[in-house]
Every structure is written in structure tokens, then in C-alpha cells.
């Protein structure tokens, strides 16, 4: 069947293999000579695509919940959505959450996802206490910071290339309310925006939306958003209990012309106006603050049948401002315009293939159009020459050369890959493109 | 006190989904099946998610002699019983191998009669409760491709219908479930038409609704009722020449 990840590019013919128990997982992995695990397919690109895909979402049981200590253990195919439905009414929350509830626990670990609090609380992997890994050799290995530590750190962000994550124990954080105290500050330009990030370093959550179409001094016009968990009693509406919202659905692929320049301009302008009028303090619930796009089911269809690419990179802090300006000038000149641009200040780096490091990350969405590939290749060069790198979970096209430049610790990862998977059983289209195979090592 | 529901064949995909519905409805569960290790994990999952009690028992539908002891042992006696075990088997093999057709008939039909006879007597005395039997549309008419399985399910459907008739006056309800295609372990290797196929969760939702609404016979998905009504009415003279 045809399989694609969230951005609908690339779309390949693949077979999905499901399993429901640990035993079935072992047998399945044993029977396949080349495969890659895949959860709910919310990554952007080809990192979980291969002819044979081990599909994990049927393997989704809760194993243990210690409410007092805030420790949860689950099978890896469970979605963060199912976890949140269980823990929020009990006064607990994920210490790190990506922008959607519809990723699996295993996927969150394998991509070592981050959220709006990365500068303080790091990636998802930091809150994993231990995990069970089914290695390509068929062994089940218990990994944690104490046991098999090197393997543990490499599996967090390891893109499923070291084996199949079966289950994980994670630390949760206590919350008193299901609401966030959000402060929105409009920023005039990039300099102002970066200043805001610096000044508000101690705020738990911070993120900025920027208008990528602004020119010259106007570039970087945007909205800077801060958030803190509300305390008990701060918001009078239903504490912790969450009302069901059905949201809206995009029932079919939108025609490509919707994403033309005027459309993008109008959208950005409206967003800015709305933001300006909504400046100040508000109290969105957790869904509105963390997962605004989850309310629009199948929002990826906005980009048409051909799909889109999300280009996310991080630049070292000192390079960020001139770098972002250079990149913006380049994108503007190409006349290929990103719909949404999200900026965020990141904290220090975790495992060898984990994406974030100290600096600014920018995510840009581009619908697939002629000329996009050439333009992004030019951006690749800019990003890597500035000492930056691209997020593997959102990559469908980076070259091996750029990858090696961006991830200098990949050698350490390949040593482990060679040790645990000499036959190169775990492989994706991405890993083959980037040379993340035991054989090339 | 909370009521207990016994799920026989609790490891099947449809049963697992139904367990979640029942647990969500506040019932405590007895999970019975052969793979006790996996059932224990299911039980733990249900306990965490729904804050109910779930106990696990070893149960083999083919070990008829053990059934009486097994059922007596349940404490408290279940308010509801769900027969979710079943075996599709290999129809081609069943043509040559007596063991295969015996396994198919004994699992789908004899095993069901054996355990439900015990349950029916207890529930009749208690004067309340419900029985759910997961039969199949394959039991509505025998077809060349799976008539051993189909005839066993036909027997099961007839048995449930009789049981419903007998227990009506004592206030015990019997619900016959006739799934069409459901995407489960059992049908993993079949290429199912997507419009006619239910997910286990969808089927479980339909079954739970049927329990709440006192229904007698449920088809899932719903259009199977009409498809089977049509198929049942094809004259045998024509039907015997068809391959469907």
C-alpha cells in the first residue's frame, strides 16, 4: 500500500506489519531482513519509510502508573493523546510535549522531540527513566542512564535505527490546573524578538511566530508567546477536567493554488492583526496552548496532494541573527514562500543524533513546487556553513555530506549501530540516503 | 457493588476492544483465555485506564471437562458473559484433515454450548444479566469457501436464539453479534473491502451499544444485515452455481 508521513512526501509503496504483543514483535523483527519502526506517521519526510514498516500503534498498553511519584510506564505504540487523557485528570502532564498529541511514545523517543520549554527542560528523552529495546539481534535490552547508558542515549533521537523500542518508563510533572497563563507580546523585528527570548529565559514555555514576508527592518515582525502552568484556583473554569472538542476536519486535499503568494500574505497579515489585538494575558487550556493544530484534523491536506516540506534547522546562537537574515533574504528572492514560520530558542544538546543544541531553531512550511528542491539545497549550504543543522524527523532530502557536517557525533552513533546491528537490519530511506548504515562505517 | 463481566477468549482483538468499552462503563472484568501472560498485561492496562478491577483466568474452550470447575470458581458470579473465542481455521485443510474440522466445530460451536449452558443455568436462577455471543455472518448461509466455520457459527447462532427464547421470561438477555469483516488477527491475511470492514473498536462500540439498548441481533457493520438478508433469499437453485 502507499505510505507517506504527515507531509505526504515522499509517498512510497510499502508493507505495514503490525504487532500486539512482545512475542509478536520478536517474531516479526526476526522474520524481516530490513525494516524500520513507524508510529503514527507524524514525522515529515522519509525517516520512518522503508519497504517493510513495523507499525507500532497496536502495541499500546499502560504497564504501570505511580501517581504519587508521577512515573508512568507504557508500551511504545501508545499515543501521547491516550497518555494525556489518562494523566491530566489526575493532575499530571508530560514534562516535554511536541506540538501534536498524535505521536507515539516510541516515536517521541526515537525522534527525541522537544517542546516550547526546551531551553529549560530539554528534550523528551531527558524525562525517560528507562526503556526496553528489542535489538536487531532479537535481544531485549533494558536501557537507562545507569544500565547500557551509551545505548540509551543513542536510542533517544536514534530514529529507530538501533532497534525497536518496546516500552518506556517516563517521568511526569504535576500540574494544578488544565490551563496556561499565556502572555503574548508583539515584536517589531528580529532583534526585538531575540531580545524577548533572552529576557524571558526563565519562563517555562516560549515560542514565537514570525512573519517571514516582512522586508528589511520589518523582517522578524512577529508574536512572542510565553506560558506558565496556572495554579489551582487561578482560573475558575473546570480545573483539570477537560471538555471534549470535536474540532474541524479538512475532508480532502486542497487545490494547490490556495497556497499562492497573496494567500500567504493575507494569512500572515491577519495573524499579526489578530495577535496584536489579543496582546496581553490570556488563559488558554492545555489543548489550545500546546496543540492548536490538532483541532484541524488532516490539516496537512491544506498543502494539496503533492504534499509539503517542513524545513527546520537550528543555528548556533552567535550566528543566529545574521544567519536568519541571510536565510530570509534567500527565501524571499526565490519567491517560494513559507506559510508558517516558528522561531524558538533551544537549550543544550542531548544524544548523538538528537536535534536541538543551544541556538535558535526556525521551522518553515513549504508546499512542494518546482524549484523548491534547488532552493532548499541552497539553504542547506547556508545552514551548514553557519554551523547549523537540520532536524532528522523533518528531513526528506538532505545530502549525506550536509548530514555529516551537521551531526559531528554521528560517528559515535555508527559505532553503536555497527555493534548492535552489523547486518543493517534497521534501515529507512533516510538512513540509506544519509549513510547511517553499519556497512558504510 | 460493581458488576462483573466474564470475557471468554479475552485475547481476541474484538474482545480487547470490548473490554475497554465495558471497563469504561464501570464494569469489573474477568478476562479468560489461554494466554494468561498477555491477559495479565491487558488487565493491568484496563485497571490503570478505567480504575476498575480486572482478574485473569486460564480458560480453554476445547477443554469441556474443565468448564464446570472454572465457572464455579468465579467469585462473584458474573453478571454478564461474553463468548468472544472463535476459530476461523483452514477450510481447505478441513476437507482432508478430520482434526481440523473438529477443531473448528468444537471451538466455535461445542465450546460455546458447553460454557453457556453452565452460565445460563446460573443466570436464570439469579434472574438477571446478559449473554453476548460473537457469532458471524458466515453462519447465515453456507458457502463453498468456509462452510465448516459457517456451519459451526450457524449452530452457535441457533443455540443463542434458543437460549434467548428460554431465558426471556427470567429476565436474562441474550445478544447475538454477527460481525461481517473485522480487521483482526483472524483476518490479517485476507484482503478486506474497506467499506464493509469494521475496526475492532467500531465493532466493540456497536456491541456495547447493543448491550445498553437491549438488542437481540446485531450486525456490524450495520449494512451486513441487509447484505445477508439478500444473500439468504437467493434461491438455492441459483445460489449453488454462484461463487461468493
Domain boundaries for CATH 3.30.70.260 within chain A: 180-231+238-402
Among the partner residues A20, A23, A65, nearest to B48 by beta-carbon distance = A65
Q: Does A63 touch chain B (CB under 8 A)?
A: yes
d(CA B182, CA A353): 40
Q: Which cell numbers hold the place of A273?
A: 492583526
* pLDDT, position A222: 87
Q: How distant, in Å, are the alpha carbons of A65, A88, A154, A300, A415 from that of A419?
A: 34, 40, 12, 38, 6
Query: Chain A residue with minimal CA distance to B20?
Result: A61
* pLDDT, position B185: 75
Residue of B10, B19, B45 to mutate, interface with A, max A Cβ within 10 Å: B45
A63/B44 Cβ within 8 A:
yes
Q: How distant, in Å, are the alpha carbons of A357, A377, B36, B94, B100 from that of B97?
A: 64, 63, 29, 5, 5
User: Spelled out in words, what is the top-level CATH class assigned to the domain A62-175?
Assistant: alpha beta
Residues 6+ apart with CB under 8 A from A153: A125, A350, A351, A352
Rounded mean pLDDT, B207-222 = 95
The SS3 call for residue B56 is strand
Q: Which cell numbers hold the place of A26?
A: 520478536
What single string gives the DSSP state of each residue in A360-422?
EEEEEEEE--TTHHHHHHHHHHHHHHTT-EE-GGG-SS--HHHHHHH-TTHHHHHHHHHHH-T
SS percent in chain A: helix, strand, coil, step 5: 35, 25, 40
Q: Does A333 touch chain B (CB under 8 A)?
A: no
* Catalytic member of B27, B58, B79, B149: B149
Q: How distant, in Å, are the alpha carbons of A247, A290, A300, A373, B108 from that of A294?
A: 8, 9, 11, 28, 43
Residue of A1, A16, A18, A21 to mutate, interface with B, max B Cβ within 10 Å: A21
Which residues 368-397 on chain A approach chain B with CB closer than 8 angstroms?
A: none
C-beta of residue A74 within 8 angstroms of C-beta of residue A105: yes
* pLDDT, position A238: 52
- Distance (Å) from the alpha carbon of A423 to chain B's nearest alpha carbon: 28
Among the partner residues B13, B42, B185, nearest to A61 by beta-carbon distance = B42
* pLDDT, position B187: 74
Q: Does B45 touch chain A (CB under 8 A)?
A: yes
Rounded mean pLDDT, B119-146 = 96
Element (DSSP H or E) covering residue B70? helix B64-73
d(CA A261, CA A256): 12
Query: Chain A residue with minimal CA distance to B44?
Result: A63
Chain B positions in Cβ-Cβ contact with residue A62 (cut-off 8 Å): 44-45, 48-49
* pLDDT, position B2: 87
B58 classed as catalytic: no
- Chunk chain A into consecutive blocks of 10 residues (it has 441) and report each block's average pLDDT, rounded to whole numbers: 93 94 96 97 96 96 97 98 96 97 98 97 98 97 97 97 98 95 91 94 94 77 92 68 62 66 69 69 92 90 89 96 92 85 94 96 92 94 96 96 96 95 96 86 49
Residue of B10, B44, B183 to mutate, interface with A, max A Cβ within 10 Å: B44
Residue A41: Cβ-neighbour burial (10 angstroms; 0-12, 13-18, 19+): buried
- Distance (Å) from the alpha carbon of A80 to chain B's nearest alpha carbon: 14
* Paired strand residues for A362: A313, A343
Helix ranges (DSSP H) in B77-146: 91-96, 98-105, 111-126
Helix ranges (DSSP H) in B133-219: 147-167, 200-212
Chain A positions in Cβ-Cβ contact with residue B42 (cut-off 8 Å): 61
* pLDDT, position B225: 94
Chain A positions in Cβ-Cβ contact with residue B41 (cut-off 8 Å): 21, 61, 63
Query: Chain B residue with minimal CA distance to A16?
Result: B188
* pLDDT, position A211: 84
* pLDDT, position B168: 97
Among the partner residues A61, A65, A86, nearest to B41 by beta-carbon distance = A61
A86/B49 Cβ within 8 A:
yes
B44/A20 Cβ within 8 A:
no
Give the pairing type, strands B130-134 and A92-93: unpaired
Greatest CA separation for chain B: 57
Domain boundaries for CATH 3.30.465.10 within chain A: 62-175
- Distance (Å) from the alpha carbon of B79 to chain A's nearest alpha carbon: 26
What single string gives the DSSP state of each residue in A333-352?
HHT---S-EEEEEE----ST
Name the CA radius of gyration of chain B, rounded: 18
**Structural domains in chain B, sorted by start:** 4-239 (3.40.50.720)
* pLDDT, position A339: 78
Q: Does A273 touch chain B (CB under 8 A)?
A: no
B42/A62 Cβ within 8 A:
no
In terms of CATH, what superfamily is A180-231+238-402? ACT domain (3.30.70.260)
Asked whether the predicted pLDDT for residue B138 surpasses 60, the reply is yes
Residue of A18, A61, A83, A92 to mutate, interface with B, max B Cβ within 10 Å: A61
Chain A positions in Cβ-Cβ contact with residue B45 (cut-off 8 Å): 61-63
Among the partner residues A21, A65, A86, nearest to B38 by beta-carbon distance = A21
Asked whether the predicted pLDDT for residue B61 surpasses 70, the reply is yes
Amino acid at each position: 500500500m502507499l505510505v507517506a508521513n504527515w507531509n505526504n512526501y515522499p509517498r512510497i509503496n510499502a508493507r505495514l506489519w503490525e504487532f500486539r504483543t512482545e512475542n509478536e514483535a520478536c517474531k516479526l523483527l526476526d522474520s524481516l531482513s530490513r525494516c524500520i519502526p513507524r508510529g503514527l506517521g507524524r514525522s515529515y519526510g522519509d525517516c520512518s519509510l522503508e519497504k517493510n514498516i513495523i507499525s507500532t500503534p497496536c502495541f499500546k498498553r499502560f504497564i504501570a502508573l505511580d501517581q504519587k511519584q508521577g512515573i508512568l510506564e507504557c508500551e511504545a505504540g501508545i499515543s501521547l493523546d491516550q497518555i494525556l487523557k489518562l494523566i491530566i485528570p489526575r493532575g499530571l502532564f508530560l514534562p516535554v510535549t511536541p506540538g501534536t498529541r498524535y505521536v507515539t511514545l516510541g516515536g517521541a523517543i526515537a525522534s527525541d522531540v522537544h517542546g516550547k520549554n526546551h531551553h529549560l527542560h530539554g528534550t523528551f528523552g531527558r524525562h525517560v527513566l528507562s526503556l526496553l529495546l528489542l535489538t536487531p539481534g532479537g535481544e531485549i535490552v533494558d536501557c537507562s542512564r545507569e544500565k547500557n547508558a551509551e545505548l540509551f542515549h543513542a536510542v533517544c533521537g536514534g530514529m529507530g535505527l538501533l532497534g525497536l523500542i518496546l516500552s518506556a518508563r517516563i517521568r511526569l510533572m504535576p500540574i494544578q490546573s488544565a490551563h496556561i497563563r499565556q502572555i503574548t507580546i508583539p515584536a517589531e523585528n528580529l532583534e526585538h524578538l531575540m531580545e524577548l527570548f533572552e529576557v524571558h529565559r526563565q519562563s517555562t514555555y516560549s515560542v514565537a511566530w514570525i512573519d517571514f514576508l516582512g522586508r528589511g527592518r520589518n523582517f522578524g515582525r512577529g508574536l512572542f508567546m510565553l506560558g506558565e502552568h496556572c495554579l489551582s484556583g487561578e482560573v475558575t473554569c473546570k480545573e483539570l477536567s477537560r471538555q471534549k472538542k470535536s474540532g474541524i476536519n479538512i475532508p480532502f486535499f486542497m487545490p494547490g493554488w490556495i497556497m499562492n503568494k497573496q494567500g500567504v500574505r493575507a494569512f500572515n497579515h491577519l495573524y499579526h492583526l489578530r495577535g496584536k489585538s489579543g496582546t496581553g494575558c490570556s488563559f488558554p487550556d492545555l489543548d489550545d496552548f500546546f496543540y492548536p493544530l490538532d483541532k484541524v484534523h488532516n490539516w496537512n491536506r491544506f498543502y494539496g496532494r503533492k504534499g509539503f516540506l517542513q524545513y527546520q534547522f537550528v543555528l548556533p546562537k552567535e550566528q543566529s541573527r545574521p544567519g536568519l537574515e541571510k536565510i530570509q533574504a534567500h527565501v524571499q528572492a526565490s519567491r517560494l514562500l513559507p506559510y508558517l514560520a516558528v522561531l524558538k530558542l533551544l537549550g543544550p544538546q542531548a544524544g548523538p543524533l538528537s536535534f536541538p543544541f543551544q541556538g535558535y531553531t526556525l521551522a518553515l512550511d513549504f508546499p512542494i513546487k518546482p524549484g523548491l528542491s534547488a532552493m532548499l539545497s541552497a539553504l542547506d549550504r547556508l545552514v551548514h556553513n553557519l554551523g547549523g543543522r537540520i532536524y532528522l524527523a523533518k528531513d526528506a532530502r538532505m545530502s549525506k555530506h550536509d548530514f555529516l557536517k551537521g551531526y559531528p557525533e554521528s560517528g559515535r552513533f555508527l559505532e553503536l549501530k555497527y555493534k548492535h546491528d552489523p547486518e543493517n537490519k534497521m534501515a529507512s530511506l533516510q538512513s540509506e540516503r544519509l549513510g547511517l548504515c553499519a556497512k558504510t562505517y | 457493588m460493581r458488576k462483573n463481566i466474564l470475557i471468554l477468549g479475552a485475547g481476541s482483538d474484538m474482545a480487547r476492544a470490548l473490554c475497554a468499552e465495558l471497563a469504561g462503563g464501570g464494569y469489573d472484568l474477568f478476562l479468560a483465555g489461554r494466554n494468561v501472560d498477555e491477559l495479565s498485561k491487558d488487565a493491568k492496562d484496563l485497571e490503570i485506564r478505567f480504575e476498575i478491577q480486572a482478574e485473569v483466568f486460564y480458560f480453554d474452550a476445547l477443554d469441556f471437562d474443565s468448564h464446570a470447575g472454572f465457572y464455579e470458581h468465579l467469585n462473584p458470579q458474573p453478571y454478564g458473559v461474553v463468548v468472544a473465542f472463535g476459530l476461523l481455521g483452514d477450510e481447505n485443510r478441513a476437507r482432508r484433515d478430520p482434526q481440523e474440522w473438529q477443531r473448528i466445530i468444537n471451538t466455535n460451536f461445542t465450546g460455546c454450548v458447553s460454557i453457556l449452558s453452565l452460565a445460563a443455568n446460573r443466570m436464570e436462577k439469579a434472574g438477571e444479566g446478559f449473554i453476548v455471543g460473537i457469532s458471524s455472518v458466515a453462519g447465515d448461509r453456507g458457502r463453498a469457501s468456509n462452510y465448516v466455520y459457517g456451519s459451526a457459527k450457524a449452530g452457535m447462532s441457533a443455540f443463542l436464539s434458543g437460549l434467548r427464547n428460554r431465558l426471556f421470561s427470567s429476565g436474562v438477555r441474550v445478544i447475538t453479534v454477527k460481525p461481517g469483516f473485522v480487521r483482526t488477527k483472524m483476518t490479517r491475511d485476507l484482503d478486506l473491502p474497506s467499506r464493509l470492514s469494521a475496526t475492532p473498536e467500531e465493532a466493540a462500540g456497536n456491541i456495547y451499544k447493543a448491550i445498553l439498548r437491549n438488542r437481540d441481533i446485531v450486525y456490524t457493520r450495520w449494512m451486513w444485515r441487509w447484505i445477508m438478508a439478500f444473500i439468504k433469499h437467493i434461491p438455492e437453485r441459483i445460489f449453488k452455481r454462484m461463487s461468493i
